[in-house]
Chains A and B, each alone.
Chain A
């Protein structure tokens, strides 16, 4: 028997998983949780690029991005609650938080962020909401009355104050969006017992992938909604978004690879177990899918779209396809981190297997429903908050 062959036999036989590690405790719900919060944070950043950094070409999506963020934010805690063994006690995290826990702050950061986002939306939309209130009747009129907080004052003075408030909210919103998602990364990055998670790069990677998924989500849904409703697409806006997407994705992908590379290069006693994980149970989902297909292709494709002069048609078509690929890439990344990290037993001598169930409490069907809900809410919100400036009665009035 050759030594290599002997080594292979030994690896197969030495696969030892601690008995309690055979079960993967954090499953699909905890994959979705950072995915959804990431989309929220990313979409908010798109909106802030216009509201704070005055990237004028992003104006067409600046309001839509906020509503998009709100639709996903509304369901960010859903997977968490489904995952908890005792969801009825969830409020304890906010009532009696343990100050040392990296998880206890989530409720606060999440709620503070929700308040900022909602206020931002109400103030940015105020002229629109006032105009809509005047046009509408019955229940809708009452709804708009509530949303405008009863104030019809659209004097230049009042609007200037509004503008100051929105600029301030958007400005504090950026660090909050970054905190929200950097923090979610830290929930994993702070687990010293798990060598795959415990890296200071984790919050950085989570934040970058959040931005990427938010921008990609906006491009993808913007094009889809506009096409579906037969409205014109602002190509300048799409091209700018693609450039931002490419820029963020360069950073994101490079950091993801750097993380892997530094594990491999330092080759501490953890590396052997990590390597077995990447070439073993994560081979298809990480090496082939996440890196090989859904990172490399968008990486090159977005570069071409950003640098080469191409027709609007091509940019729109490929921009949409590549954005969708990025959305898949980020979902795969969440899967590989959350599930992958748990597959490696803390025995560092082997790995468990995990196949999600279809109909279980945290299974595939429930996951699909959770991903559909924000989209349904987005549709509902579109009935109340016009996404696009060309549908906006307040804008019509101003230009008339």
Chain B
């Protein structure tokens, strides 16, 4: 019984991923234009070896996302890229950037007006004490190894692919919102247009074509990095295997995020 249900769901997932590969699901204009009209080969491969991958799931790769807090300048370019890539409805955020300010009395002030979409162009002026420190923290889906969202989804619409991505099949989602409640990082929302759950996918459709996630692509200071941990030449491998200050968000949740932060500060939730 369970087996046949799983088979039924996984058939759907395969069809879903085929649609992603075919470009009929989400994605920038560039990728929706049918092959032939603009050959993919003309765009250089950004993730080495990706275009050799065939079949529904990526084999032999283990992806990681790294955000370097010490680099982020809070310009909001990633948020703009993301909003354009997915036409994210106003008031919902697949990714956002938070501004942290710490004063000399150790009070922590955080804000993220409009999710940082407009960039942080002016310093906060409403603080009572002198500022001791300030930094920006970009947020996105943590692609948890033990994702709570997958655990709670009653219909298996949110699922983890064999290659470690957590995706949503919007043809199956009933829009109950349980996953929105369950995600400890609040990266999910119910899309007001589709009435289904939505969230950052690490640009799965781009990655499958050997391209970096849109936000990684546009970051002017390389604060966002993406790559294959099985490729020992990749930057993400090197960062995670060298003595850096690296951590994940809310480790006590037990979700085991694949999103890592360089220079993460204890004030960050």
Contact = CB atoms under 8 A, between A and B. Distances in A.
- Listed residue (B98, B155, B196) with the most chain A CB atoms within 10 angstroms of its CB: B155
Contacts of A100: 150-152
Contacts of B172: 89, 92, 96
A265 to B, nearest CB: 20
Contacts of A209: none
B153 A101 contact: yes
Contacts of B43: none
Given A14-B109, A19-B112, A194 B181 contact: yes
A222 to B, nearest CB: 36
A193 B187 CA distance: 12
A371 B128 CA distance: 50
Contact of A193 (B111, B148, B194): B148
A6 B184 CA distance: 30
Nearest to A80: B176
A102 interface: yes
**A-side interface size class:** 35 or more
Nearest to A5: B128
Interface string B85-106: 0000001110010100000010
Nearest to B158: A98
Interface residues of B, number: 55
B269 A349 contact: yes
Contacts, number: 148
A182 to B, nearest CB: 18
A93 B154 contact: yes
Interface in B11-26: none
- Listed residue (A16, A22, A102, A187) with the most chain B CB atoms within 10 angstroms of its CB: A16
B35 interface: no
A192 interface: yes
Contacts of A98: 9, 153-156
Nearest to A99: B2
A86 B181 contact: no
A190 B154 CA distance: 14
Contact of A101 (B91, B151, B187, B195): B151
A26 B128 contact: no
B152 A102 contact: yes
Interface string B102-125: 000101111110110000000000
B27 interface: no
A97 B151 CA distance: 12
B186 A25 contact: no
Contact of A14 (B107, B139, B173): B107
B269 A348 contact: yes
B237 interface: no
Nearest to B186: A18
A38 B117 CA distance: 44
A260 interface: no
Given A96-B156, A100-B150, 8 more contacts: A16-B112, A85-B174, A85-B195, A89-B172, A92-B155, A103-B176, A193-B182, A347-B110
Interface of A: 1, 6, 9-10, 13-14, 16, 18-23, 25-26, 80, 83-87, 89-90, 92-93, 95-104, 106, 187, 190-194, 342, 345-349
